[in-house]
Amino acid sequence: MQSFLYNDFICTCYMTDEQYIQRCLDLARLGEKYVAPNPMVGAVLVSADGRILAEGWHRQYGGPHAEVNCFADADRRGVTPGQIHGATLYVSLEPCSHYGKTPPCADLIVSKHPRRVVAGMLDPNPLVSGRGMDKVRSAGIEVTSGVMEDACRSLNKRFLCLMEKHRPYVILKWAQTRDGFIDGNGDKPLVISSPYTKQLVHKMRAENMSILVGANTVAKDHPGLRTTRWTGRHPLRIALDRHPEGKNYEGWLVYRDNTDWSFVLDDLARRGIHSVLVEGGATVLNHIIATGLYDEVHIEVSEKCIFHGVSAPKWDFPSHLAKNLYIEQYEESTLYIFGA
Ligand code: AOF
Ligand code: ZN
């Protein structure tokens, strides 16, 4: 419940748990460019009468968690211990219970002792997985979890994939002509994307920790694979190349054996990489599609026809992706997104 003055009337507005968790998700997103491979997490402290007393989010990998920043915000705002005892702490992910780079948030919450804690979802990290909420509950604090769970899972799909499937989240991306070609037969790469959709590709680069291409793409396109048309980090560049000798792969990660996709994914997971954007070409994309080890596919189809060239992969995706299709229409092309 929230009360405010409007034209001299005292208005009362009831906010739901879902709305406060939505606020946590909005805050969590502010950490998007800085926290990987950690999850994005937001927290809000709400008074007994529904006022937001303090807010916080996980801002930086290795830095304080959302709950710590939220209680620090409460201190700054002069929120009293008494107010905290009557308040509810909303957090988009279960508070941690382990000593990582920071001490357990669950212990901090127990010491501050709000009346109630609401978590959007449990933390699948095996170091936590329910123990955070158990700690809080054992201290006599009322707990609820699983509020807006789908939205919470969707925000952290990359982190969740690494925790639950022990591999990075894989996004395949390519552009093709209307008649199904990914490239022409000439020496020069075929330009399919428009300046606008190119910018969207750079946004995707900033959202993922790594970007992967095959040897043919490196030889033909000499791709920079940098994030220059969007803000954010440059992802780690990865090549699958059986003959890397003589190429300039400084700063890249190169796998010589390009036939074992699950080996590559295992190795990336060991390195703590939670996401990989595969930008082609056809050989690599077809190989990965055949393994079934991918999560999303983004295909840009231009209006152009070139009649012959290198065929794009078949749109032969498993049913859970095929039925989850989202289409965006742009001036010169259409974007088909499977599985997002
Ligand atoms: C929370 N609140 O804001 C986040 C949590 O290495 P550390 O100490 O930063 O711990 C990272 C782990 O903590 C991460 O894998 C995830 O399980 C949890 N993240 N937990 O209570 C937060 N970011
Ligand atoms: Zn924590």
Are 87 and 94 in contact by the 8 Å Cβ rule? The answer is no
**CA distance linking residue 144 with residue 255, whole number of Å:** 45
Whether 67 sits among the annotated catalytic residues: the reply is: yes
CB distance 102 to ligand 1 below 6 Å: yes
CB distance 272 to ligand 1 below 6 Å: no
What is the number of the ligand closest to the CA of 101? 1
User: Strand pairing partners for 325?
Assistant: 338
User: Which H, E and C letters describe 181-201, residue by residue?
Assistant: EEECCCCCCCCCCCHHHHHHH
Q: Single out the catalytic residue among 18, 32, 67, 149.
A: 67
CB distance 144 to ligand 1 below 6 Å: no
**CA distance linking residue 260 with residue 121, whole number of Å:** 34
pLDDT of residue 192: 87
**CA distance linking residue 333 with residue 272, whole number of Å:** 35
Are 242 and 175 in contact by the 8 Å Cβ rule? The answer is no
Residue 98 Cα to ligand 2 middle (Å)? 8
CB distance 83 to ligand 1 below 6 Å: no
Average pLDDT, the chain: 93
pLDDT of 223 > 90? The answer is no
Where in the chain are all domains bearing CATH 3.40.430.10? Answer: 165-338
pLDDT of 164 > 90? The answer is yes
Q: Token pair of 61, please?
A: 């990998």
Lowest mean pLDDT of 48-62, 181-195, 196-210, name the range. Answer: 181-195
| Environment of ion ligand 2 (residues, CB < 5 A) | 65, 96, 105
pLDDT of residue 3: 63
Residue 130 Cα to ligand 2 middle (Å)? 13
Residue 51 Cα to ligand 2 middle (Å)? 24
Are 136 and 106 in contact by the 8 Å Cβ rule? The answer is yes
* Cα–Cα distance list, 88 to 78, 121, 122 (Å): 17, 16, 17
* Long-range contacts (CB closer than 8 Å, 24 or more residues apart) made by 319-324: 321/296, 321/297
CB distance 203 to ligand 1 below 6 Å: no
pLDDT of 257 > 80? The answer is no
Pairing of strands 9-13, 52-57: unpaired
Are 98 and 72 in contact by the 8 Å Cβ rule? The answer is no
Q: Token pair of 161, please?
A: 């994939």
- For residue 37, which atom of ligand 1 is closest to its CA? 15
At 67, give phi and psi (nearest 5°): -65, -40
Stretch (H or E) spanning 267? helix 261-270
**CA distance linking residue 167 with residue 267, whole number of Å:** 9
pLDDT tens for 39-88 read 999 999 999 999 999 999 999 999 999 999 999 999 999 999 999 999 99
**CA distance linking residue 336 with residue 285, whole number of Å:** 16
The model's confidence at residue 13, banded by pLDDT at 50, 70 and 90, is low
Are 196 and 331 in contact by the 8 Å Cβ rule? The answer is yes
What value does the CA radius of gyration of the chain take, rounded to a whole number of Å? 23
Are 212 and 273 in contact by the 8 Å Cβ rule? The answer is no
Range 2-161: architecture per CATH: 3-Layer(aba) Sandwich (3.40)
Where in the chain are all domains bearing CATH 3.40.140.10? Answer: 2-161
Lowest mean pLDDT of 15-29, 49-63, 207-221, 315-329, name the range. Answer: 207-221
pLDDT of 258 > 80? The answer is no
| 3 state DSSP class of 287 | helix
Tally of helices (H runs) and strands (E runs) in the chain: 12, 17
CB distance 105 to ligand 1 below 6 Å: yes
Q: Token pair of 295, please?
A: 């999560």
**CA distance linking residue 29 with residue 32, whole number of Å:** 5
**CA distance linking residue 285 with residue 293, whole number of Å:** 11
**CA distance linking residue 196 with residue 216, whole number of Å:** 26
* Cα–Cα distance list, 263 to 168, 275, 323, 328, 338 (Å): 12, 15, 29, 34, 24
| 3 state DSSP class of 30 | coil
CATH topology (fold) of 165-338 = Dihydrofolate Reductase, subunit A (3.40.430)
Residue 89 Cα to ligand 2 middle (Å)? 13
Residue 94 Cα to ligand 2 middle (Å)? 8
> Does the model's pTM come out above 0.85?
yes
CB distance 41 to ligand 1 below 6 Å: yes
The model's confidence at residue 186, banded by pLDDT at 50, 70 and 90, is confident
AA letter at 175: A
